[in-house]
Structure 1
């Protein structure tokens, strides 16, 4: 049920929109087809689209008058600012984010809200399906049974990065608890991670449910796939580093060290495909973070207190790094030719 003028929405659905004309109709259709019996509002935040996205939003609102709102940014400001505009405009008891190239299963809002009310949770996270034009699969971080985390254990669970990832989507947030927390502006990659870290550091109860509540579209043209060309990987490293601002317990510090090791391992694996000139730029940044984050044998001992697998992660990272450095040493620079 969409909201009427005299109703307060149970959920505000915040949808940043920018140049997604090929996917937006499917997204909006999924939002309009929710089984949720309580009133909810859809906030479409157009970030100065230059294709037909704004017109698609206007047509959607015309078809559902009084049920959705279009908010237009004055200038293109990025997804973080668009999400923040949505948070500030939201009137629902809870709010959730949906990327405009993704879609919601029909029962998504119903299942998220039911769990929030049943458990008195200020955050609920559901399972996710990842899909492209050929196939779909469950996300690696899906859970097989309902779980509840409280207080400091919430941030620890997030830093473990097993059942909870740094995505704003697929989660329901209590507006009274988190309306004051905004997405970091001008960050072009992993901005979700930093936002979620602050939310989880302030959360009182997190519930993980087994229902599939989100369909994430895998697109090769996304920021994740272009992280080296756009220098987005630097923002990724920045976000992981900034998570440390919210760490207050020894157990959280150990999980942060383990996450840092995993991050650099993933980055060095992806760097294998880089051209030599690109690698000469990226590799010093990786080495600098290893030193700044003090990822050495003492740090490894901290991580090992959590799980022995981080010995494997650490050794894999050091091997990958050694191989990349050897590749650079064996390739002459342009000035030496």
Structure 2
């Protein structure tokens, strides 16, 4: 079946004060070809030039229909509902004004939907960090291309995908079940819509094609609603959206309702905790709000969560105010999770959070080695080497017998890791293990260039610890001492190689490399850009 014979799609584009970007979004929808029978652009009473941009595009493209709202709705739900009401295609696809549809996205979705007669079809999406153009796959591994899920309850982990824009919906299915978004200023409206879709128990087909590019502009003058986290209101909105979604799912299927609760503990809670920041007023408000909410969770749902998520809940429930070592908690919420020393024990010798808060770390002694939240420190050891120290964790690593360690450099933009050679670990007097790990930044820069990393390269630096019993654990490095000093290194290939180690928001070691004059200039410009963004945010 060629594209001209496929059932048509109505692409609903919503826009508010986005004159500079909405044209690209609409154009990406029109470029899908005849499978897109119409593009419905809903202007949510914009006060900039959005209306003019859309009207000019509509005059040149008969497939574009513009709906002008006279009153701003305050959110994304109402304009999307207006778009559904105006749609006439067999299928509906949603697009935000600052994102794009990649080529052939609609075609891939419709072909999959028709092949499997599925009311809902899902494809791959990426978060594209701008201006760096770092693509991060959304929920990798959640779906299997070509799969058909007869009922969402058969795959409760589907509740983790809360996006509405990476899916194609049969319009008759939406109408049959009265599926709409929450109206008005309702942040995270897609959480609720997606829960309503899953509760309706549709067959879901999966395509492996990339169908959505989600642009993330953290330094924009006006960030998206979901990225606006200047106060605790955003977290409150996320909690309310999750509460509504969990209730909707639980009413349809207890299995889905429980999975939604576990997802909150393992994903949402950890994400906001590791971005907690240092503002004491925000911390206090966040702690109170979060503690009140997790107190409502059934113990069975807490027990079903991963160990590090359970421990976070236990600490939250144990104290009405953020503990003095709240930063340790943010590191436990990182990816991969790390439990920083010191390591306290309770009256019976069991692992506990701290002497001040003797909350039990249940399940730690039974975790596989690869899931242990191990901490590894790194400090400079001369040019081209770092000295690491692997901390034992209540004797669990000692049981496995750490033997070697090796550095791993992972491109932050995605790609293949670069592995250094393994080095033997030596036991120290304090019950840990140390090694001096060599690396060659010039070779790393060359490899980065071969992977397409031009100008500035950004790498996450991790370490793999391999044990005598055949097990291994991988974690990030905690920078110590003077490791974060910038360096300008002579290079026979590039003339100069700028190296800028830095600490990520999660407290882990990362590295920027700028090979040659072009890279150095880009690095300087990038620093100025981040400084301006920080001043604007402040």
Counterparts of 1:226 and 1:320 in 2: how far apart (Å)?
24
Relative to structure 1, the CA distance from residue 89 to residue 2 in structure 2 (aligned partners, 3 Å threshold; closer, same or farther) is farther
Counterparts of 2:316 and 2:230 in 1: how far apart (Å)?
17
Stretch moving more, 282-291 or 112-121: 282-291
> Which structure's CA Rg is the greater one?
2
Structure 1 counterpart SS, 2:18: coil
Is the Cα–Cα contact under 8 Å of residues 154 and 206 in structure 1 kept in the other structure? Answer: no
- 1:75 maps to 2:78: no
Partner in structure 2 of residue 171 of structure 1: 167
Structure 2 counterpart SS, 1:98: strand
Partner in structure 2 of residue 157 of structure 1: 157
Partner in structure 2 of residue 100 of structure 1: 97
Partner in structure 2 of residue 300 of structure 1: 302
Counterparts of 1:206 and 1:8 in 2: how far apart (Å)?
19
Instruction: Please report how far the alpha carbon of residue 31 of structure 1 lies from its aligned counterpart in structure 2 after TM superposition.
Output: 1.4
Is the Cα–Cα contact under 8 Å of residues 16 and 45 in structure 1 kept in the other structure? Answer: yes
Corresponding residue pairs, total: 311
Is the Cα–Cα contact under 8 Å of residues 125 and 137 in structure 2 kept in the other structure? Answer: yes
Counterparts of 2:42 and 2:184 in 1: how far apart (Å)?
16
Is the Cα–Cα contact under 8 Å of residues 268 and 317 in structure 1 kept in the other structure? Answer: no
Instruction: Please report how far the alpha carbon of residue 61 of structure 1 lies from its aligned counterpart in structure 2 after TM superposition.
Output: 0.4
2:271 corresponds to which of 266, 271, 274: 266
2:256 corresponds to which of 252, 257, 261: 252
TM-score (norm 1): 0.84
TM-score (norm 2): 0.54
Structure 1 counterpart SS, 2:258: helix
Structure 2 counterpart SS, 1:214: strand
- 1:208 maps to 2:213: no
Is the Cα–Cα contact under 8 Å of residues 91 and 171 in structure 2 kept in the other structure? Answer: yes
Q: Deviations over 1:217-256 (max 9, x none)?
A: 0022222222352712212101111122222434324312
Q: RMSD over aligned Cα, in angstroms?
A: 2.7
Relative to structure 1, the CA distance from residue 203 to residue 187 in structure 2 (aligned partners, 3 Å threshold; closer, same or farther) is farther
Is the Cα–Cα contact under 8 Å of residues 25 and 56 in structure 1 kept in the other structure? Answer: yes
Q: Deviations over 1:290-320 (max 9, x none)?
A: 11123x4x4333x16xxxxx12322245457
Counterparts of 2:323 and 2:232 in 1: how far apart (Å)?
25
Relative to structure 1, the CA distance from residue 300 to residue 40 in structure 2 (aligned partners, 3 Å threshold; closer, same or farther) is same
Is the Cα–Cα contact under 8 Å of residues 129 and 136 in structure 1 kept in the other structure? Answer: no
After superposition, where does 1:206-245 map in structure 2 within 5 Å?
Answer: 206-220=204-218, 221-229=223-231, 231-243=233-245, 244-245=247-248
Relative to structure 1, the CA distance from residue 274 to residue 121 in structure 2 (aligned partners, 3 Å threshold; closer, same or farther) is farther
Relative to structure 1, the CA distance from residue 274 to residue 172 in structure 2 (aligned partners, 3 Å threshold; closer, same or farther) is farther
After superposition, where does 1:1-337 map in structure 2 within 5 Å?
Answer: 10-35=8-33, 37-38=34-35, 40-65=37-62, 67-77=63-73, 78-131=75-128, 132-142=130-140, 143=143, 145-153=145-153, 156-159=156-159, 161=160, 165-179=161-175, 180-220=178-218, 221-229=223-231, 231-243=233-245, 244-247=247-250, 248-262=252-266, 263-271=268-276, 273-294=277-298, 296=299, 298-301=300-303, 303=304, 310-319=306-315, 325-327=322-324
Instruction: Please report how far the alpha carbon of residue 322 of structure 1 lies from its aligned counterpart in structure 2 after TM superposition.
Output: 7.1
Relative to structure 1, the CA distance from residue 229 to residue 148 in structure 2 (aligned partners, 3 Å threshold; closer, same or farther) is same
Stretches of structure 2 lacking an aligned partner (at least 5 in a row): 327-538
Partner in structure 1 of residue 453 of structure 2: none
Is the Cα–Cα contact under 8 Å of residues 190 and 235 in structure 1 kept in the other structure? Answer: yes
**Which structure features the higher share of strand residues?**
2
Instruction: Please report how far the alpha carbon of residue 158 of structure 1 lies from its aligned counterpart in structure 2 after TM superposition.
Output: 2.4
Stretch moving more, 258-267 or 201-210: 258-267
Stretch moving more, 94-103 or 247-256: 247-256
**Which structure features the higher share of helix residues?**
1
Instruction: Please report how far the alpha carbon of residue 14 of structure 1 lies from its aligned counterpart in structure 2 after TM superposition.
Output: 0.4
Relative to structure 1, the CA distance from residue 79 to residue 140 in structure 2 (aligned partners, 3 Å threshold; closer, same or farther) is closer
Structure 2 counterpart SS, 1:183: coil
Stretches of structure 1 lacking an aligned partner (at least 5 in a row): 305-309, 330-337
Counterparts of 1:71 and 1:108 in 2: how far apart (Å)?
24
